Chain A
Amino acid sequence: MALLNISGLTTVFETATGPVGAVDGASFTLEAGEVLGLVGESGSGKSVSAFSILRLINPPGKIIGGRVEFGGQDLLSLAPRQMRAVRGKDISMIFQEPLSSLNPVQTIGAQVMEPLLIHTSIGKRKARDRALAMLYRVGIPDAESRFDVYPHQLSGGLRQRVMIALALVCEPKILIADEPTTALDVTIQAQILALLKDLQSELGMAILLITHDLGVIAEVADRVAVMYAGQIVESAPVQAIFDDTAHPYAAALINSIPDRTRQARRLIAVKGNIPDPRHLPPGCRFAPRCGFAQPSCVTTVQKLTALDPTHATACMRVQAGELARPIPTLTPELPHG
């Protein structure tokens, strides 16, 4: 049984013109000890999905359906007090921008101690020791003397390490990392990813890694779920996503990675934009941008269906065997617009 089982998760934002769906019936699982990458472009609903797991959606946002099963209970139906006991202890989260996610007027030591003081009844002195040990563990050199500094005194890479220490100090079973390396430069990115991978095997936790960077996915993920317009369109082991791509959107995303062996003048972009969530296409949401779309794609609602025990896609034509896998990476002439 999966550690975290998300099914039919639906989150909407109330607007003056009615509710707008950000996540629409997303289903995926996270197994103990694995790294699941959740990819998609901006606005695909990947961050909202992650925030929905911990019920961190603030009004006007609202989770209106689905289940988030963890440890035999549905997190969405827990009382607020029970939910608080899960946050930071069993499931914790790190954010995109470490500077703004740390309190500017508290020392980093005090902040790393915070989850311990909230979730355990160990005294301040023991909490300090554990926080300090955690700061060393995430690779902060000379953490002892940095314990009482403020976030603005640290570099971006160290701040993200502090965030990681803060998230892991209670040794959670699941870490949700929302674009943890986006705000960092490339060399620091690699270090942080390596650190996450190390800590993951050391602590035996599962990581839900949200990113738009397929390079990051290739580096650390075990499994991948591709999200488009609030829905999961493909889910597969990381190797299969690249070698046996089964959804035209995933293929287009992979195709847009700059390739240094190809002498292309221009980057190959996925044409068009993500659809306006207020005016979604009635059938397949990717159909208007898809090079393989047929009239039936535009009208038929498509469901994520397993091709084999580990690989699922929401593309009707792949399910029917009409498209060869992997989907040809150089897609034929895309419609303009």
Chain B
Amino acid sequence: MKHSMFGKKLKMRLGGGIVIAVILMAIFAPLLAPHDPYDQDLMSRLIPPFWNAQGDWTYPLGTDNFGRDMLSRLIYGSRLSITVGVAAALLACTMGTILGMWAGYSGGYAETAIMRLADAQLAFPDILLAILIVAAVGGSALNLILVLGLSGWTVYARVMYNMTRSIRERPFVEAAVSHGARSAYIIRQHIFPQLIPVLTVVATLQVAQMILQETALSFLGLGLPPPTATWGNMLAEGRDRMWAAPWISNLSGVAIIILVWGINMLGNGLREHLDPNQRGRQ
């Protein structure tokens, strides 16, 4: 069988490298950014990036409509994407895992209530739900995290529910019951540890989803209000000047693509690494 173009090691290294680089960039933004991302200079509006003939190394990646440095704004913009993406994925992960394990282990009414709620929510597009809520409560980093986190739990709930159900039937769980263990103890000690590999993969891939949703909301004007530097905001701002200053949209778009691609790469690499059926290959 022909192997995929990238081996799992390369995927994990490349994806992990991109993710770590972006995280470091977000943490050390004040040290890395050459300018204040909010410093407007109307004399130097719409300067193209350095590779253009009119480019200027003072602003390596050019400036936007208000003369703000693109590079600095991109660096600062990573902060929101990373924070919202990771926090929302963690929130969704915690909530979905707890509810999914509960539904899967106890069965009965809890199972019906939780899983039918998940079904109902899955029937409704996440982004639409997010738009509704953010439009109602307003955009802030915390609101974005809550909205995206609360709408993303279903993925985890379904995966964890199914895995818990299959693990619950295994004899060692019955043996633990016969030793007098409580349900909570069994879930914590015997079921949860077996879910961690899958959880890691799903959560990683979910971060990319969350970042995309956050950018989508920002692009639609439902994220943090301008002038906050977020990749989605920058993408939206550049839309008006697509012909005159394509770099504004293009650069923010490329930033989003690189990060999401890197996270997906890492997630897929992890999946192959943790999947016992793939062990021993390449």
Contacts and interface: CB of A to CB of B under 8 A. Distances in A.
Interface size range of chain A in the complex: 20 to 34
Contacts of B185: 118
B172 A103 contact: yes
A87 B180 contact: yes
B179 A114 contact: yes
B172 A102 contact: yes
6 contacts: A87-B177, A92-B179, A95-B171, A100-B170, A104-B172, A166-B179
Contacts of A166: 175, 179
Interface of A: 54, 56, 59, 84-89, 92-93, 95, 97, 100-106, 114-115, 118-119, 163, 166-167
User: Could you say which of A86, A92, A101 has the most chain B C-beta atoms within 10 Å of its C-beta?
Assistant: A101
Interface string B170-204: 11101111111110010001100110000000000
Given A59-B107, A95-B171, A103 B190 contact: yes
Contact of B180 (A89, A100, A105): A89
Chain B interface secondary structure, helix, strand, loop or mixed?
A: helix
Contacts of B193: 105-106
B180 A56 contact: no
User: Could you say which of B174, B177, B180 has the most chain A C-beta atoms within 10 Å of its C-beta?
Assistant: B180
A86 B179 contact: no
Interface residues of B, number: 18
B175 A95 contact: yes
Contacts of B175: 93, 95, 101-102, 163, 166
A196 B170 CA distance: 25
User: Could you say which of B107, B170, B178, B182 has the most chain A C-beta atoms within 10 Å of its C-beta?
Assistant: B178
User: Could you say which of A92, A114, A166, A167 has the most chain B C-beta atoms within 10 Å of its C-beta?
Assistant: A114
Interface in B83-110: 107
Contacts of B179: 87-88, 92, 114-115, 118, 166-167
Contact of A97 (B171, B180, B182): B171
A85 B180 CA distance: 6
Contacts of A56: 174, 177-178
Contacts of A105: 193-194
Contacts of B180: 84-89, 115, 118-119
Given A92-B179, A106-B189, A118-B182, 8 more contacts: A59-B107, A84-B180, A84-B182, A95-B171, A100-B171, A101-B171, A101-B174, A115-B179
B181 A84 contact: yes
Contacts of A54: 178
Nearest to B181: A118
User: Could you say which of B171, B175, B176, B185 has the most chain A C-beta atoms within 10 Å of its C-beta?
Assistant: B175
Interface in B132-180: 170-172, 174-180
